[in-house]
Structure 1
């Protein structure tokens, strides 16, 4: 990376039982110094459809949760990581994102993905099309959003975005940054071409978070993913902010998951966990060192952690915010 970006940290929330708990979460994320709060775009709860996938249940739908969060906090950036484009009619999604960007000017980040959780599609009765078709749809939604935010007339004809249809309303004064995430070559090339923020993630084409996700996300595979982003981005690569999530976190002296538990869960030994780009293990000092090394090696400056480690991870946020 020719330019070293300062760190930003996001907390990703999966669960809130009611309005009070959600608002308390928003306030807590702000108080602890995080830059952003991410929500998720998943809909069904625990049961035979979701249990085998390894994905956590998500309680709140993204758009209303984002709206409330943006009202509670005037500081946090509020994002969705990621809107699954296959779950939404494109024009409706574009208007919802644009409305959020108008109502919380300068504080909305819209994450978009091609979708991967086949069991959820099936359970909801949404067609789970081929990977190629899902990435085609992602590209079309990105084109629609670009035209919408520019105030250009658009139309959607048979899934294809075309000009000279209708005037988009509303048009935000400030274009919200778009995050695109994934782990496959075509998605990451598309992200490099079109996104403001690129999220380097697992390639979950199997529809399950499991051994294949781990095996496809080590240091060598992460460099390969970054090369795909560069192929799509060309000369604009240094303008892109690179984000990734630490899905496996064990902080020395903090309650929660232990390093031994993470080793059993991932199949990685101590050295492997410390080298794995989606894990952070050790003392606060060691984790800060890991993040600084990864920023140098991969360019990752935007780090997302789950709500389970919100408090335990706060000393890392305090140490590195602004660095």
Structure 2
């Protein structure tokens, strides 16, 4: 079994001092990584946030979940990430996606293209990123990007994290990523009932199957990550699940079995995590910042830290 590790997803802080304290707290509690999203709301912007967190810690990995590919040119982003990887002593986990939230594109005045178009752009970006990090220069001509002999310098390999809930995105991740992240689907560009209905255990099992098929022999080398947005450490598991189901598109049984939910006592959640690692292969779990301290005993028990 691949060893467990855990990340917390942090979004904002009152000031830089509080942000540093969050990063140090995550490190002290045994979390492997601090990850930040990339949305145009009240979240802190990722590049600056990750730099501050890396500067404030010594072992904590810092990463994105996920950079939106359409916000930035891939060559410029490759340069920024390479510098952060170098400056942090190799503690960057670079996640990038095609963007899923339609209102982010509206804020920027960008077209919210069909998923296939956005994923096509992302696939070209991944090639540019990898070429820059490996060779120190890029010479690339594609449908969406053209980069001519852009100079740079070789850097240590940056772990690449790709993921999503749809087959095209997960197929790209299976072929290109080091870490594959599994989420619900977001085809509509917003959180809706269809997204919730895509959180069943059967849907996650199907996604793992897509990755296994597309990855082929390299599947065994992949680290499988699961973002779990609903985490509640409670003594009354069944009652809590019943209450959530009243306002959900899922049944109580579907909620209890879904990797998108971690609900129950520390013992029950620990058992769920071990079962889901065996069933789906998920060893890398991303928990909300609000639950970071409450879940620390579970993290300690499962990681041995």
Paired with 2:40 and 2:255, the residues of 1 have a C-alpha distance of 31
Distance 1:23 1:64, change over 3 A: same
Paired with 1:25 and 1:17, the residues of 2 have a C-alpha distance of 11
Match of 1:108 in 2: 92
Match of 1:75 in 2: 59
CA contact under 8 A between 2:197 and 2:250: conserved in structure 1? Answer: no
Match of 1:166 among 150, 153, 157: 150
Match of 2:12 in 1: 15
Structure-1-length-normalised TM-score:
0.88
Distance 1:126 1:213, change over 3 A: same
Quick check: 1:182 aligned with 2:182? Answer: no
Paired with 1:98 and 1:30, the residues of 2 have a C-alpha distance of 22
Deviations 1:256-300 (A, max 9, x none): xx5455334434444332201110011000000000000000000
Shift of 1:231: 2.3
CA contact under 8 A between 2:163 and 2:181: conserved in structure 1? Answer: yes
Give the alignment's Cα RMSD to 1 decimal.
Answer: 1.9
* Structure 1 spans left out of the alignment, 5+ residues: 46-57
Quick check: 1:5 aligned with 2:2? Answer: yes
Look up the SS of the partner of 1:150 in the other structure: helix
Quick check: 1:302 aligned with 2:302? Answer: no
Paired with 1:245 and 1:114, the residues of 2 have a C-alpha distance of 17
CA contact under 8 A between 2:23 and 2:34: conserved in structure 1? Answer: yes
Distance 1:111 1:222, change over 3 A: same
Matches within 5 A, 1:87-102: 87-102=71-86
Match of 1:318 in 2: 300
Match of 2:69 among 55, 77, 85: 85
Shift of 1:132: 1.3
Paired with 1:40 and 1:24, the residues of 2 have a C-alpha distance of 19
Paired with 1:73 and 1:134, the residues of 2 have a C-alpha distance of 35
Structure-2-length-normalised TM-score:
0.93
Quick check: 1:25 aligned with 2:22? Answer: yes
Distance 1:216 1:267, change over 3 A: closer
Match of 1:50 in 2: none
Distance 1:127 1:242, change over 3 A: same
Match of 1:287 in 2: 269
Paired with 1:273 and 1:124, the residues of 2 have a C-alpha distance of 36
CA contact under 8 A between 2:124 and 2:142: conserved in structure 1? Answer: no
Aligned length: 302
CA contact under 8 A between 1:274 and 1:290: conserved in structure 2? Answer: no
Quick check: 1:138 aligned with 2:135? Answer: no
Match of 1:55 in 2: none
Match of 2:106 in 1: 122
